[in-house]
Amino acid sequence: MADDTPRGPGRPRAQGHDERIVDAAVELLERGEEITVSRVVERSGVSRAAIYRRWPSMTDLVATALDRGRAPHTIPLEGDLLQNVLDAYTTSSSTMSSTMSSSTMRETYSEERFRLRMRLAMTDRKLAQAYWRSHVSRRRAGMIAVLRAGIERGVLRPGIDVDACIDLINGVFYYQFVVRGVTLDDPEALARCREGIRVAWRGMAAGPA
């Protein structure tokens, strides 16, 4: 079957280049080596020009490599929205990758990778911002949809700041992992996270929770 997909200007991307480039960057990260274009070229076999066509800077490529193994998640909009959020964040196999509470997520996005991302982001603001723009913001879509559905149904107050509410809920998980130093397989940590979500939801609620 012919490919009728319209192409933009310029040369078409070679198949498999993106994967090889990211593989090379991930390998460098895991070895604790600095990611430079020369090293990525050497390990990937992809030209310097091809790399820069895909990532305008090494900072953007590092952000992509750090995100390997994570994926956007969805939260059902049917039924009890609060319960759906609790399930998605603390029990579902599609749980947010920042919590890493499912075995599926740990296999694709390790605790070591998470801690490396946190360490690099804390010391490199440009990297943190690139990671936010390219990766974190897109994974908030599921929670944005839930909160907007709650507002439309009259469950949540219409004046809530959606972004601030998501930051509040996500912060509960980061605090357990970064400040308390526990993993989110810890039943007590998960219980604190669930209660934190409930407290935040009560603050957003239009009426008695």
Please list the rounded mean pLDDT of every run of 10 residues in the chain (209 residues): 40 71 91 90 94 92 84 84 92 44 46 74 84 81 95 96 95 88 85 96 85
Looking at the structure, do residues 142 and 200 belong to the same domain, yes or no? yes
Looking at the structure, do residues 24 and 116 belong to the same domain, yes or no? no
pLDDT digits (tens, 9 = 90+) for 4-30: 334 344 444 556 889 999 999 999 988
Question: What is the reported pLDDT for 200?
Answer: 97
Give 92-141 as a DSSP string. -TT--TTT--SHHHHHHS-HHHHHHHHHHHHH-HHHHHHHIIIIIHHHTH
Looking at the structure, do residues 196 and 100 belong to the same domain, yes or no? yes
Looking at the structure, do residues 54 and 140 belong to the same domain, yes or no? no
Residue 9 lies in a domain: no
Question: What is the reported pLDDT for 82?
Answer: 97
3-state secondary structure of 153: helix
Looking at the structure, do residues 92 and 43 belong to the same domain, yes or no? no
pTM: 0.70
Question: What is the reported pLDDT for 161?
Answer: 97
Looking at the structure, do residues 54 and 114 belong to the same domain, yes or no? no
Residue 119 lies in a domain: yes
Distance of alpha carbon 186 from alpha carbon 37, whole angstroms: 40
**Whole domain around residue 192: which residue ranges?**
81-204
For 129-138, b/e burial (b = at least 16 CB within 10 A) is: ebbeeebeee
Looking at the structure, do residues 104 and 25 belong to the same domain, yes or no? no
Residue 7 lies in a domain: no
Looking at the structure, do residues 117 and 168 belong to the same domain, yes or no? yes
Residue 11 lies in a domain: no
Closest listed residue to residue 144, CA positions, set 118, 125, 167, 127: 167
Looking at the structure, do residues 54 and 98 belong to the same domain, yes or no? no
What's the Cα-to-Cα distance from 170 to each of 44, 173, 175, 176, 186, rounded to whole Å? 35, 6, 9, 10, 17
Looking at the structure, do residues 163 and 136 belong to the same domain, yes or no? yes
Residue 209 lies in a domain: no
pLDDT digits (tens, 9 = 90+) for 23-61: 999 999 888 888 899 999 999 999 999 999 999 999 999
Cα-Cα-Cα-Cα dihedral sign, residues 133, 138, 141, 142: negative
What is the CATH number for 44? 1.10.10
Question: What is the reported pLDDT for 54?
Answer: 93
Residue 6 lies in a domain: no
β partners of residue 205: 156
Question: What is the reported pLDDT for 131?
Answer: 82
111 contacts 98 by C-beta, under 8 angstroms = no
Looking at the structure, do residues 93 and 177 belong to the same domain, yes or no? yes
Question: What is the reported pLDDT for 94?
Answer: 38
User: How many structural domains does the chain have?
Assistant: 2
Question: What is the reported pLDDT for 30?
Answer: 84
Question: What is the reported pLDDT for 32?
Answer: 84
Looking at the structure, do residues 60 and 101 belong to the same domain, yes or no? no
Residue 172 lies in a domain: yes
Question: What is the reported pLDDT for 11?
Answer: 45
Residue 101 lies in a domain: yes
Question: What is the reported pLDDT for 97?
Answer: 42
Question: What is the reported pLDDT for 202?
Answer: 96
* DSSP letter, residue 205: B
3-state secondary structure of 49: helix
